[in-house]
Structure 1
Amino acid sequence: MDQTLRRRFDGVWTRAVGGSGAEAAWRALDAGYGEAARHYHGWPHVRALLAGHDAVRGLPDISGLDGDAIDLAISFHDAVYDPARSDNEARSADLLVTCSGSGLGRDCIRSAVAMIRATAAHGPGEAPETRLMLDLDLAVLGAPRATYDAYAAAIRREYAMVPDAAWRIGRAGVLDRFLDRPRLYQTGHFHDRLESAARANLADEAAALQAGG
């Protein structure tokens, strides 16, 4: 595992929770993100979101947000990921609660838990930290086509147990629900830069699924 990522986690954990529990929390995260079946929702996904967060930290609308809470939410948001279940976000949030123990009384932890739970629906976030974290999680939708195609293929591999016909129907439904939204990104920064590309990527994948591809 990338030691830079581990050191970053230890720093965030110490500031947010305190000096104890970092090792156990890290082991719990690595047990999840290190699973062989994590073709997309693994450590590279976490690393990409952290890098995305770093890239926007200095923007006027973002610089005053609780960066540690956002980093903590990123670190735990897909810690539990079972394609056969629909409660992964709640279970990931519960894992943070369990690992943090008495730290749950801190605003940073409560904020991170709320962000993780919000990834279940990716609906409008009440807190600015939540809106940013959700946009970071969806940034891949507006990535260059080759990156988006690799993402879509990795998601399909995670759902390899689903027959093709059922996959096309289910995945198309997810894409259509995103496309039906008035906007995909909740922050001005991500909306201005990624909205058009994301809609094009989603529409093209939906068309390919409809065509049986």
Structure 2
Amino acid sequence: MACMAEVTTHPAHDDLRTRWLATVRRAHAVAADPGPYADELLERWAEPHRRYHTTAHLLAVLDRIDEIESAAPHAADPQAVRLAAWFHDAYYRPDRDTNEERSARLAEMALTQLDLPDGLVAEVARLVRLTITHDPAEGDRDGEVLCDADLAVLAGTPGEYAAYAAAVREEYAFVPDDLFRTGRSGVLRQLLALPRLFRTPHGAAAWEARARHNLQTELDLLASATDD
């Protein structure tokens, strides 16, 4: 893994690093030192062009995974899910459509270098690629936990959701308003068309209704801006 550009350290940097080390060691007794991998991943998540896909998002996803698993253990392999959370937006450029694939390949490379079992590496990469659609197959318990945790931001309070939507717009500041509204509206409609946004029992009970309300509200606001 290559050295990154100068970044701003997140207040939870040390806690996240500790959590990474614990997750890797729980997953497998590794021969290599996982510390440098944590440092590079945290640098990636703190790249200056990010506004939503930041270290704060990584922390939130990891916390939501813990929340789901604490409510009622659901994942078949919780450590694979946590590792996938670390990698799912490790590569992120808002003007590219290969982010998930490149992130998955980064996971395959890094976790292989750490000598994690081949089956675990493959599962982590599969989960990262699943975040393209956030539509896990029925019975994909690992995928359900990761996707629920990643989408939990949609169920924030009105203020939290507004901050999330604003951060997404900032990441796409290079896109003209009319094109952004069209593209963003398409994403919102795609999410609303899913039979269920959340697949775990906890996610469905705690987040589904509020997330749908937030998504519909944003869609209505975008339509209203178009009318103006």
Match runs of 1:1-213 below 5 Å: 1=9, 2-16=13-27, 18-62=30-74, 65-101=76-112, 103=115, 105-125=117-137, 126-212=139-225
Give the letter for the 1:30 counterpart.
L
> Counterparts of 1:170 and 1:188 in 2: how far apart (Å)?
31
| Aligned residue in 1 for 2:6 | none
- Give the SS at the match of 1:70: helix
* Shift of residue 87, structure 1, vs aligned partner: 1.1
> Counterparts of 1:59 and 1:140 in 2: how far apart (Å)?
18
Give the letter for the 2:182 counterpart.
I
* Shift of residue 30, structure 1, vs aligned partner: 2.5
The number of residues matched between the two structures is 212
Q: What percent identity do the matched residue pairs reach?
A: 35
Q: TM-score with structure 2 length normalisation?
A: 0.86
> Counterparts of 1:106 and 1:21 in 2: how far apart (Å)?
18
* Shift of residue 104, structure 1, vs aligned partner: 5.6
Distance change in 2, residues 1:114/1:104 (3 Å): farther
* Shift of residue 86, structure 1, vs aligned partner: 0.7
Give the letter for the 2:212 counterpart.
R
Equivalent residues of 1:73, 1:113 under 8 A apart: yes
> Counterparts of 1:14 and 1:124 in 2: how far apart (Å)?
27
- Give the SS at the match of 2:71: coil
- Give the SS at the match of 1:133: helix
> Counterparts of 1:60 and 1:67 in 2: how far apart (Å)?
12
* Shift of residue 145, structure 1, vs aligned partner: 1.0
> Counterparts of 1:72 and 1:54 in 2: how far apart (Å)?
13
> Counterparts of 1:26 and 1:60 in 2: how far apart (Å)?
28
Unpaired runs of 5+ residues, structure 1, are none
Equivalent residues of 1:124, 1:131 under 8 A apart: yes
Distance change in 2, residues 1:94/1:21 (3 Å): farther
